Structure formats: structure tokens, C-alpha cells
Structure 1
Amino acid sequence: MNRLSSFFRTIQVKLIIIYVLLILIAMQLIGVYFVSAMKTSLTSNFTKELQERAELLSVLAAQNLGATGESADESMENLRVLVNNLFNMNGAEIQVLDASGKVLTTSKPSHADYVGTKNMQTVVSRALQGIRDNEEYIIDEDNVRKKVVAKPVISGGKIVGAIYIAASMSDLYSTMERVNNIFISGMFLALALTAVLGVILAHAITSPIKELTRRATAVAEGEFQQKMPMLGNDEIGQLSKAFNYMTSRLRDALAQNEEEKEKLASILTNMSDGVIATDETGKVILMNRRAGEMLQVEDGHENVEGVDIMSLLHLPPEERDVLEHGMMHSMIIKNGTPDGNEFLIRVTFTPIHRREFGIIGTIAVLQDVTEQEKLEASRREFVANVSHELRTPLTTIKSYTEALEDGALQDPELGPRFTSVIQNQTERMIRLVTDLLHLSRLDSKEALLRKQPTSVMEMLEEVADRFSFQMREKDIKPTIFIGSGVETAWLDRDQIDQVLDNLISNAMKYTPEGGAISIEARISEDGQLAISVQDNGIGIPKKDLDRIFERFYRVDKARSRNMGGTGLGLSIAREIVKAHGGTISLQSEFGKGTKVTFTIPMTNQGGEAM
């Protein structure tokens, strides 16, 4: 039933029905007009013929009416001959009436008994009154429709009788019925031919439309190479041309869209920030690889599609209200790694608005700010340390200066001692400021390395000589070991001397009396010069090893300050070695000693401006 209903709703059937209805209506209009005109014409001709016969018969009958005697009998015989022979009509009755309306003779033998009786019809009365145009339609006792005509018979200026003709119209209506049957047959034949031609014409029109529909469906399913043949320049041809242009533009648009999608996917994949997109309900619909790495999500987007972003980022419940109101904001969340490390992620939420629908989703950008926060903490700690390092000697200098102003300067014992303390604290501040300036130049790379060929053995022996007096005081035994192949290296002698001075100074500070310090130079596996300073002192706790090269970081803060250290020695050493293109590392075991090793290239290459 549905298929039949859909069939009758097709354009082809509608066109056929329209053509057939147009022909049917046209044929009906033509038939009505033609039949009406034919009926009028036939009736008019039939009536005209009756009128002419009646007129002629009235003229002939006027010569025979009014006679008497033998002449009257002869006249009656003449009238019978006229009525029965000369003017006889098939299916018609002719009567000759006298002036009173009596029937004198009739052409129909079955009505012979009418002779001598009066004809009382209206047309007869009108004819006897001298009215010539008298006609009417009647239906006789046999249910036959007839046309009645009556004419007056005038002789000598007087009405002497009338002619009455009643003719059957059966032949006329039979002729009209035959014509109607012929017309109806022709109409059905025309309708059949119209239906056949309509099928052919509708097929010619709908066939390209069906083909266009089929190809449009194929395009909708992703086959964008479809192309309609151009069979003409009519409306369908123009439609085919428009379809081909549309598919061409669609291919270009989709190719551009695919290119943009690939660019976007490449950008999202290679971004250093994580990106998560959600729908209006907060369900994840997109996540790039970096976001998966930050959140330790395996398989990235496929594994979290449909997951609520609140549970994915472990956000507090009150955050949902903020997201639903579409407010752009950011927050810091903590996340841990399987190995126990913790890092910080800054999440920035940006709502996606559409004019008609409001908020349709949210974009969350994830940034790993662990290092940034560490740097901020380091800066704050650095400022605090510098402030503290400067405040301590300044406070001491101020207090001792006030004591001297109060009279301690005149005291032979306190005066020199207070002055010596002020001098020591001033030197401590000078060392601190000098180290800070040195670090500043290293950071800004303002100083240039002045590399030159340097004898490694000579450089190490001079370093040991510079600290020989202090070592003898603590009974520390130094040893120097030069590996095979170590002779000359390209380096900035002043800078490397400062590195060695810092390392040996630290080794002496934390090595008890009677200890040992070993200085070793050798060629590393990658062909660089490796110099190490090792002691058997108190060592460094494991928890402090990762921060030992930070500025102002001290393992034993009180002891380091009492020894006059600034906490910047290892930081300066690291920057100098880095400027030479090398690396520095520290190995230590608490209570057993420490070994610091730095490597620099042997030849004049690598490194950077200081």
C-alpha cells in the first residue's frame, strides 16, 4: 500500500495525470460546444425544411380548397395525392384542415379516423388566425418526440384552411447519438494516445531527474566524483550544470576542510600545551596527545571520550557551577606520576558560545607550570636569601658601629676587636656582592671566554699550592693524579681556577682534620677532559643532592655562614663549566665523603660566551 501510494506521488504519474486531465477537459469543452452547435444546426435545418414544405403545401392547397360539387371531389383527390405522394415524409404526418379546423385528409393511414374531427392544438388555432410562424415540440402517445409546424392556407385573401405537419425527430436524435458515440470513441482514443505520449514525455523529463537524484544521493554518501552528463541547454541541462558546479565546489570545500582539519590535528598533536574539548554537558569529545601525557591517560582521546571533565581533572564540585555559567577562568591542579613525583597543571577554561544556542561546550587548555612554579619559588628564595645574607653583616656592622660611637673605640681591647669584626663583615659583603656580580655576568653572557692552551698538570699543582698552608693546618693530605693522554687543554685558566678553588675550598671545609683530598684529571669516554675533586669528609645527605647546585643552598646553613661561605660557589662553578661546553656532577654518601666531577672539551670548540 505504501509503495502504491509513493508511486502515485511520483512526478512521472503526476505529469501523466495532468496531461490526461488536460486532454479530457479540452475534449469535454470541445464536445459540449460541438454537440450543442450540431444539435442547434440539425434542429434548425429540420425545422426550416418543415417550414418550407408547409409553406409550399399551403400554396398548392389554396388552389383546391373552397371548390364545390364535382370540383370539390376532384380537389380533395388532388389534396390526397399531394399529401400522400408529393410531400410525404418518413415518420411525418401531414394534415390538411379546413377553415374550422376539421381534418380533410392525412398522410398517415393509421390516423384515417381523424378525418372529419377537429385538431385542437394551439399551433392550428394560431394558423387559422393567420399567424404564419407556428411550431412546437410534442411527445405523442408512443413516447416519440416530434416537431409540429402549422401554416394558414389563404385563398382570395381569406383563410380557407391550414396545413399541419408533425414530423418525428427520431432520425435527428439518432444522428446526434451516433455523432456523440463517434466523439466519445475519439475522445477515449485521444486519451489513450495522450497517456502513451505522457508516459514517454514524463519519462524523458523524469529520467534526468532520477539520475540527478541518484547521483545526489551518492554525493551525500561521500562519492564526490559524481558528474551529470549535459544533454541539452534547457532547464534540466542547466540543473545538471549547476549540480556539476556544486559537486566541484563541494570537492574543493571538503578538500580545504580536510586540509584545515589535518593542520588543526597536527597543531593539536604537536602543541606543548594540552587541549581538552567538551560538549554542553561537560563530556569530553576531544583531547590531544599532550593532555593525555599530562593526565597519564593511555590511548589519549579514545580512552576518555564521553568521560566527564570534572572526574577527569578531579575538580571540586563547586567548579561545575562555574563551568555551566560559561565564565572564562583558570586554576591550578596537582597531578602525580607513577614514580611518586608531583607536578602542577594550570587549567584555563574558555566557553564556546553559539548565538542561537548559548554555551555549546568548553575548551580546557592545560599547561605544565611545574618548572615555572619552581622558578618562581627559586626567585622568591633567592631574593629572601640575598636579603638575609646582606642583612646579617649589615646588622652586625651597625651594632658594632653604634658600640664604637658609644665609647668602645676608646677601649684598648674592644676597639680593635670591634673594628676587626666590622672589617670581616664588610669583606663578607664584598665577597657576596662579587659573587652575585659574577653570576649576573654569567647569566647575561656579558663576559667572553679567553681560552688558551693550558697545561693541566701545572694548573692542578698550582691549585694545590694555593691551599697547601690551610691543608697543613688541618693535617689534610692532598694527592694529584694525571691520567694518560692528559697534557694540554683549551680553557679559560682564570675561570677554571675559580672552579677548582671553590671545589677544593668546599672539600677542606667539610673534611675533618687528618682527612684526604684527591684531585684527578683523566680523559673521559667521550674524549673530554674530566677533572674531579674527592674528599673523605662528612658527605651530603641524599635529600640535598638534587639542590646542591642551587644558589644560596646550604646543607648546614649555620656552619656554612660561620665559615664565611656565600652559598654561591657551586652555582658559579656550574655556570663556568657550562660556558666551556661541559657538565658538572656530584656524588656523595653521607658520612663517607663527596666527589665532584666536571668535564670540558680538550680542543678549542664548544662552549659559549660568558
Structure 2
Amino acid sequence: MIVVTTFVLITSWALYNTACYLIDDMPMESQKQVQFQSALFDYLLLFSLFTVVIGSILHFYLTRKLIRPLRELIQSTQRIKEGLYPNPIQVHTNDEMGQLISHFNQLTQRLEANQTQRQRIVSDLSHEFRTPPLSNLNGYLSALKTGMIDGDPKLYQSLLDESKRLTKLIEQMEQLKEWDVESDLLVSRKEHVNIAVLVEQSIEMFRWLLNKEAIPYEIKAEKQQVEVNIQGVIQVMSNLLDNSIRYYQENGPIIIKGECVEKVYKISITGEGGQQIPLTDKQSIFERFYRVDHSRSRVLGGSGLGLAISKEIVERHNGKIGMISNGNLHTFWFTIPI
């Protein structure tokens, strides 16, 4: 404002003196020259004051418009520094400031989502490890130490099984973390492959178990070239097949079907389960550590991570995953874009 005022005053002074110099060389009465100089001075003074006032008002408005979002950014940054997550800042323009605020809002939302996810994982892990695997191990080991029970091969086998379940749970958590944190990199490792071959390979890994349990099965997979992360798709197939075998009831075969539906390739696995799945559970069955029957142990019910891992992998392929339940007949399906 000082610079603008100084500039206006210097310009007015220059105009005034130039005009006075020119008028002195003109044949004019002395009184008229004095009147002209006085009028010119008044006009220039009024013009200068008007320019300074209008310029100051415009400067104040534009500066406030520029500073306001900066102040909001500073306040929001301070809240993040304190461990809090502010509400998104309103964006009113598409200029550089608007773009900066938009990026800041996205960064804040991403940080908050990551923090919520970390807290949920830590909470879920604490619960899963504490009840019942570690509780069982601690109970049996304490009893063995105090001599309340005697060790025998059956007990040692039980402790070994519990330890293996803990190891499997940790491995599944590593898989889930891998697809959470490095998903963009992993999904970028795609290859063109006949997906019917992947279906066959996935079933081959379970063929010995299917034969051992005398579980009939049918396979019908159409050939189709797709671009996928091979290990990811095999992981999804393995998780769904494992669930079908785990809950299988001796009533009809497990049907594995692969078909082209519009612009996607749909893979479905259908089998008779041991119980009906309520509608409320259908919405949550793909969540982490979720079990339909909460009373089941991990020996039968699993860790509740298989479907969550499958959902993460399928969504990273821009596909969809879901289930259809009709009484005890359950169909789990997922799609991959062609």
C-alpha cells in the first residue's frame, strides 16, 4: 500500500509540474495561470486520494482472498501435527491454490484412512492372537510347568497344531499386507494367460485332498485370454476352493465354472455348506477376521482372512467378488475384466 501510494503521489506531482511548466510558456494572464494551477492541483489531489483508497480496498480484498486458504492450510497442518485429522478445506477455485488445497485434502484423507486401517489391523491381530491360540498355549504350558497335567503325544500334537495355526495366521496377514501396501506394484506385474489354465492349476493343488475326502467335483472353464497377476488369481481360487472343501457336506459335487459374461470372465464355485448364511452375514463375509459362526474354532472355521485377501486381490484387478446363497447351497464368484 505504501508503494502504491508513493507511486500515485509521484505521478501526480510529475503531471502537475509538467502542466505548470507548459502553461508558463503560454500567453495567459497571471491570474488565470494561478487559477489553472490551483484547479489542477485540486483535481490531481482528489484523483490521488481516490486512487489510493480504491487501490487499498482492492489490495485488501485480493490479499484476504489469497491469505484465507493459506491460513486454513496452516491450521489444518497444525491439527495433523497434533495427531488430529481436520475436515476437508472447501475449494472455490481451479487455480494453483485450488489445486494445492485439493491435493492437501486427498493427502489428509489418505493419512486418516491409513491410520484407521493400522488401528483396525492392530486391534484385530491382538484379539486373534490372544483368543484362543495364545491363551491355549499359555494354559497348557503353565499346566505342564506346574505339573497339573502330564505331557503325552496327543497333547504335544495339539500344541503343535495350535502353533501351526498361529504361523498360518501370520502368513495370511503378510499376504494381506502385501496387497494393501504394494498393491499397485503387484497388480502391475500382469501377464497375458489363458485363465482356464489357471483354473485347472488351482484345482490340481486340491485334487489329492478332494480324492482323499471323496468329494466329487465338476469343472467347466471356457478358454479366454486375460491380463492378470497370475499368483493373485491362483490365491483367490485357492481361498475359495479351501472354503468349499472345509464346509462341504456330503450332498452333490462341488462345481467350478468359468465363463465369459459380457466384458468380464466370471469364475464361480458352488457347493453344499453346513449351514445357511443370514442376509446380515452376506454383507460382512468378506471383512477381515469375520466368521459366520463365531463359535467355530479356527480348526474348522479358519482365521477369517481368506475371503478378505480374495476381495483385495480381485478389486485390485478392477473386478468384483460376491456370493449367492440359497439355503445350504452357496456360490462364491468373482470377475476379471477381459
Name the TM-score, length of structure 2 as normaliser.
0.63
Q: CA 1:376–1:534 in structure 2 vs 1: closer, same or farther (change >3 Å)?
A: farther
User: What letter is aligned with 1:240?
Assistant: Y
Structure 1 contact 539–588 (Cα < 8 Å) conserved = no
2:322 is equivalent to residue 586 of structure 1: yes
Distance of 1:374 and 1:346 partners within structure 2? 13
- Alignment-derived partner of residue 53 in structure 1: none
Match of 1:455 among 164, 176, 194: 194
- Alignment-derived partner of residue 233 in structure 1: 37
SS of the equivalent of 1:552 reads coil
How far 1:559 moved relative to its partner?
1.9
Q: Which range moved further: 398-407 or 492-501? A: 398-407
Structure 1 contact 541–590 (Cα < 8 Å) conserved = no
- Alignment-derived partner of residue 25 in structure 2: none
2:256 is equivalent to residue 519 of structure 1: yes
Structure 2 contact 321–335 (Cα < 8 Å) conserved = no
- Alignment-derived partner of residue 549 in structure 1: 286
Q: CA 1:254–1:423 in structure 2 vs 1: closer, same or farther (change >3 Å)?
A: same
How far 1:504 moved relative to its partner?
1.5
Q: How large is the Cα RMSD of the aligned pairs? A: 4.0
Gaps spanning 5+ residues in structure 2: where?
A: 1-34, 74-84, 88-107
SS of the equivalent of 2:288 reads coil
Identity %: 26
How far 1:556 moved relative to its partner?
1.4
Distance of 2:153 and 2:290 partners within structure 1? 34
How far 1:443 moved relative to its partner?
2.4
Match of 2:133 among 393, 396, 400: 393
- Alignment-derived partner of residue 49 in structure 2: 246
Distance of 1:535 and 1:561 partners within structure 2? 21
**Bigger Rg, structure 1 or 2:** 1
Structure with more of its chain in helix, by fraction: 2
Q: CA 1:595–1:445 in structure 2 vs 1: closer, same or farther (change >3 Å)?
A: same
Count of residues in correspondence between the two structures: 267
Name the TM-score, length of structure 1 as normaliser.
0.38
Q: CA 1:247–1:463 in structure 2 vs 1: closer, same or farther (change >3 Å)?
A: same
- Alignment-derived partner of residue 423 in structure 1: 160
User: What letter is aligned with 1:465?
Assistant: E
- Alignment-derived partner of residue 45 in structure 1: none
Distance of 2:331 and 2:60 partners within structure 1? 60
User: What letter is aligned with 1:530?
Assistant: K
User: What letter is aligned with 2:36?
Assistant: G
Distance of 2:261 and 2:153 partners within structure 1? 53
CA displacement 1:68-119 (0-9 Å, x = unmatched): xxxxxxxxxxxxxxxxxxxxxxxxxxxxxxxxxxxxxxxxxxxxxxxxxxxx
Match of 2:150 among 390, 408, 429: 408
How far 1:431 moved relative to its partner?
0.1
2:175 is equivalent to residue 438 of structure 1: yes
Structure 2 contact 186–229 (Cα < 8 Å) conserved = no
Distance of 1:546 and 1:245 partners within structure 2? 72
Structure 1 contact 476–514 (Cα < 8 Å) conserved = no
Structure with more of its chain in strand, by fraction: 1
Matches within 5 A, 1:368-379: none
CA displacement 1:153-180 (0-9 Å, x = unmatched): xxxxxxxxxxxxxxxxxxxxxxxxxxxx
Q: CA 1:443–1:373 in structure 2 vs 1: closer, same or farther (change >3 Å)?
A: closer
Structure 1 contact 428–564 (Cα < 8 Å) conserved = no
Distance of 1:452 and 1:346 partners within structure 2? 42
Q: CA 1:259–1:380 in structure 2 vs 1: closer, same or farther (change >3 Å)?
A: closer
User: What letter is aligned with 1:396?
Assistant: N
- Alignment-derived partner of residue 487 in structure 1: 224
2:314 is equivalent to residue 572 of structure 1: no
Distance of 1:254 and 1:567 partners within structure 2? 64
Structure 2 contact 281–292 (Cα < 8 Å) conserved = yes
Distance of 1:531 and 1:233 partners within structure 2? 94
Structure with the larger RCO, 1 or 2 (CA within 8 Å, 6+ apart):
2
- Alignment-derived partner of residue 600 in structure 1: 336
Distance of 1:458 and 1:528 partners within structure 2? 17
Distance of 2:332 and 2:45 partners within structure 1? 80
